[in-house]
Amino acid sequence: MNYTIVEEFHIYDELTEKHKFYDVYIPELNMLFESDGVYHHCKRYYDNISCWDDLSSYEKDHIVNDKHKNELALRKGFRLIRVWAGEEEFVWNEILI
């Protein structure tokens, strides 16, 4: 099956009055994809959640933003899949083929 791929899809958040951008949206599946870079999305936090106090404010801001985007997508009725950068091809093949 061929799917429509919409890159840099945005959702308006009435609570913050801002748009949040997602890497890819597939309308036929009502599914959003986010490819998270290891550095910017602080993989070490997700590997060891107890390291919060050791994170920089930059890292904490990204984690808080990611959580907000997760909640926004859910609130708006979207399915959201997050993958670490470098794992996208595996996920595409498993989900879309």
State if pTM tops 0.85: no
Q: Say if residues 42 and 64 touch (Cβ distance below 8 Å).
A: no
Q: Tens of pLDDT along 70-95?
A: 999 999 999 999 887 777 676 777 77
Q: Say if residues 35 and 91 touch (Cβ distance below 8 Å).
A: no
44 to 7, 52, 70, 75, 86: CA distances (angstroms): 27, 10, 19, 27, 16
Q: Tens of pLDDT along 39-73?
A: 555 555 555 555 667 778 887 888 888 889 999 99
Q: Strand, helix or coil at 12?
A: strand
